[in-house]
């Protein structure tokens, strides 16, 4: 009769060991997911600082200001493909948004096709929440949202205004410009969405919001507060800086002041100059932003499409007359500098403030069809030679609205509410 007793005891011991192994497995899974989230050098990951040891990963992401949930585990919203979705795109029509600058109103300036407006970004293996304008607007009640950077960031800013403004009566909204600062106000919400022109973030000789086409660019070291004083008090900030650093040669850095009679200017590599700006930005963020109350985003490099040969076109081709996205999922244009992406990752990972990196570069690289091309206001009369050759003056840097930059803001929305 002892044998059954021994068998029963062994059975209970087996159950206990199985439970312990199962618990270890679950713990290991959570640790694995945590480590995966913290792989910030991977440009396809969100750049965030690690959660404090007293929180689980899920609790930490829910504690980020404005978060109401989190993206599915293993879902990289920046890796995916473009799908044709004319039933749900665009989110608004060009004539419905009076705030779009004439540089971006492609339909008004003669573009006949609208196909570029009908593509929807679909991440692999997961779905993302739809852009909810009511939720976004209500979240901005009594808040300031600010975009800081160059004309590409201004395009993203205008896109956000266009996505929201139809919910606001005409008498309760306005947009005004004060030098480098443009402010859209939703009066009933006591909310503002603002854009501040600072193409290098630091003080430079290109800081005039209107007259800034300067080829011999100079940036002043340690001057973040020259512009930063205008950003203080923002609840959500979206930074960008990239295009203006790409001069193709070493960069000029001013030590001292632009008012100095004798100026000390040194030349450094683009990577070193860019790193200086990123460090200054992070120092400003850590000094002026509250991680318990505010959020900071950084929009990655916006690509250009000037070299058709890189996607299989003719040597003289560029974005002009392109009506479909690039289908090669491995496509990477030479104008998008991966060494700059490495600088961003290297700087961000050394700081504790939770910056959210909007990694829009790869998804935008596919969109050779979405640029303003020749369909924009031309500030100078075209020459007969230009008219005869549209490729020669096509703008393959900026983007039509509505269009690609609405997707950037959709992903910003996802990372704001579901980090």
Largest CA distance in the chain: 107
Using DSSP bridges, classify how beta strands 80-84 and 119-123 pair: parallel, antiparallel or unpaired.
Answer: antiparallel
Spatial separation of the C-alpha atoms in residues 84 and 218, rounded to whole Å: 43
Using DSSP bridges, classify how beta strands 251-255 and 218-220 pair: parallel, antiparallel or unpaired.
Answer: parallel
Using DSSP bridges, classify how beta strands 355-358 and 251-255 pair: parallel, antiparallel or unpaired.
Answer: unpaired
180 a catalytic residue:
no
Of the residues 165, 230, 398, 410, only one is catalytic, namely 398
DSSP string, 156-175: HHHHHHHHHGGGS-GGGEEE
272 a catalytic residue:
no
Judge residue 29's burial from the number of C-beta atoms within 10 Å of its C-beta, 0-12 exposed, 13-18 middle, 19 or more buried: exposed
8 a catalytic residue:
no
Spatial separation of the C-alpha atoms in residues 143 and 290, rounded to whole Å: 14
Of the residues 151, 159, 280, 373, only one is catalytic, namely 151
Spatial separation of the C-alpha atoms in residues 140 and 323, rounded to whole Å: 36
> What number of H helices and E strands is found in the chain?
10, 14
> What angle do helix axes 404-417 and 151-164 make, rounded to 10 degrees?
70
Measured in Å, how far apart are the chain's first and last C-alpha atoms? 60
Of the residues 150, 207, 369, 395, only one is catalytic, namely 395
Active site residues: 151, 395, 398
């Amino acid at each position: 009769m002892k044998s059954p007793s021994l068998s029963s005891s062994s059975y209970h011991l087996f159950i206990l060991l199985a439970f312990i192994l199962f618990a270890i497995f679950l713990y290991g899974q959570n640790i694995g997911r945590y480590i995966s989230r913290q792989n910030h050098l991977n440009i396809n990951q969100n750049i965030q600082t690690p959660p404090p040891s007293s929180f689980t990963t899920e609790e930490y992401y829910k504690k980020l200001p404005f978060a109401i949930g989190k993206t599915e585990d293993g879902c990289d919203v920046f890796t995916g493909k473009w799908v044709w979705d004319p039933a749900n795109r665009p989110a608004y029509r060009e004539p419905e948004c009076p705030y779009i600058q004439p540089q971006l109103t492609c339909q008004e300036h003669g573009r006949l096709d609208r196909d570029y407006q009908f593509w929807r970004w679909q991440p692999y293996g997961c779905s993302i929440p739809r852009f909810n304008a009511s939720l976004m607007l209500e979240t901005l009640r009594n808040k300031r949202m600010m975009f800081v950077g160059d004309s590409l960031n201004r395009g993203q800013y205008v896109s956000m205004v266009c996505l929201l403004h139809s919910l606001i009566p005409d008498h309760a909204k306005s947009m005004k410009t004060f030098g480098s600062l443009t402010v859209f106000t939703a009066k009933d919400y006591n909310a503002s969405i603002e854009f501040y022109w600072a193409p290098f973030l630091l003080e430079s000789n290109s800081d005039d919001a209107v007259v800034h086409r300067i080829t011999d660019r100079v940036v002043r070291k340690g001057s973040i507060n020259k512009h930063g004083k205008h950003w203080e008090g923002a609840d959500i900030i979206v930074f960008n800086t990239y295009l203006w650093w790409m001069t193709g040669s070493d960069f000029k850095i001013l030590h001292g002041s632009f008012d100095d009679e004798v100026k000390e200017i040194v030349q450094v590599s683009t990577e070193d100059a860019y790193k200086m700006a990123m460090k200054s930005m992070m120092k400003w963020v850590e000094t002026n932003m509250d991680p318990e109350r505010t959020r900071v985003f950084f929009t990655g490099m916006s690509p250009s499409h000037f070299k058709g040969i890189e996607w299989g076109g003719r040597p003289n081709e560029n974005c002009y007359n392109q009506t479909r996205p690039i289908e090669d999922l491995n496509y990477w244009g030479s104008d998008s500098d991966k060494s700059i992406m490495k600088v961003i990752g290297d700087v961000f990972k050394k700081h504790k403030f939770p910056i959210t990196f909007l990694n829009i570069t790869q998804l935008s690289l596919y969109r050779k069809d979405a640029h303003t091309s020749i369909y924009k206001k031309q500030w100078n009369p075209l020459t007969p030679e230009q008219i005869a050759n549209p490729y020669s003056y096509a703008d393959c840097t900026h983007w039509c609205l509505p269009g690609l930059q609405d997707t950037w803001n959709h992903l910003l929305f996802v990372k704001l509410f579901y980090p």
